[in-house]
Amino acid sequence: MAEIKVEKKNNYWGWIIGGLAVIGIIAWFLMADTDGAPDVNELEQVSTNESELESPSYDEEPVVSDNVEGLENPEKHMTDFVAFVGDKSRMGIDHEYTSEGLVKLVNATIERALVNDVDINMELQSAIEKAEAITNDPMDGDHADKIKKAYLSITDVIEKVQEEKYPQLSDDVEELRQAAQNIDPSVLTLDQKEKVNGYFKEAADILQKMNSV
């Protein structure tokens, strides 16, 4: 059984806009009991208090700060997510593939938001709450519906970044939203792998375009 746990540290996330800090540090922890899988999968939120972003880690407590100056590799999580996308054979009954993909996608999205100084705190909280439901019960027959809701919420986060910094990518975000809408809640997730993975492919495409602009 997998579990995502939302944990807050110091009760603030250092988004500095107009000299004011916006509340909210968010972290997840994914617990997996699948054969050959790590016992603990943790969502490492983007660390920006060093001269470069840390590599994704599933056994360390994430730390997020507002210092985005001097980043040597502000595309580390985007690259990690893009490399992950495409391996549909990894999707098991516990939806490990989807859960890990969501972890990497959220990290990559946070990364884009931090680099562009976009406040996604409200949208991110909603996305994490939706994604958490996916791993609470690996035998739940409503997984497709929960995945669809998580995808739509993550689309809202990506759209917030797009609207503020990448207006030319509005059509791409609409395609991403349509990919989320294509998930059929009445069909088993494992019977619509193409649609589930199709969303990840669309998201990877948008993040790459944001990085290249």
In order, the DSSP letters of 47-79 are P-SSSSPPPP-SSS-----S--TT-S-TTHHHH
182 vs 159: CA distance, rounded Å: 18
Q: Determine the residue type at 155.
A: T
Q: Where are the domains of the chain?
A: 15-212
- Quick one: pLDDT at residue 187? 92
Strands 20-22 and 28-31: unpaired
- pLDDT, the chain, mean: 71
Q: What is the pLDDT at residue 179? A: 97
| Band (14; pLDDT cuts 50, 70, 90) | very low
At residue 171, the pLDDT reads 98
Q: How far are the Cα atoms of 4, 97, 148, 165, 197 from residue 32, in angstroms, in the given order?
A: 10, 11, 21, 36, 20
pTM for this prediction:
0.67
Give the pLDDT of residue 73: 74
pLDDT score for 61 = 33
> Cβ distance 5 to 110 under 8 Å?
no
Stretch among 45-54, 55-64, 69-78, 145-154 having the lowest mean pLDDT: 55-64
Looking at residue 75, what is its pLDDT? Answer: 85
Mean pLDDT of 68-85: 77
State which of 17-31, 96-110, 199-213 shows the largest mean pLDDT: 199-213
pLDDT higher than 60, residue 87: yes
DSSP assigned state of 35: T
Residue 48: its pLDDT value, please?
Answer: 39
pLDDT of residue 158: 96
pLDDT at 161: 95
Q: What is the mean pLDDT of residues 9-13?
A: 36
pLDDT tens-digit series, residues 98-139: 888 888 998 899 999 999 999 998 888 888 888 777 766 656
**pLDDT tens for residues 164-193?**
999 999 999 999 999 999 999 999 888 898
Burial of 67 (0-12, 13-18, 19+ CB in 10 A): middle
Q: Give 116's contacts (C-beta < 8 A, 6+ positions apart).
A: 161, 164, 165
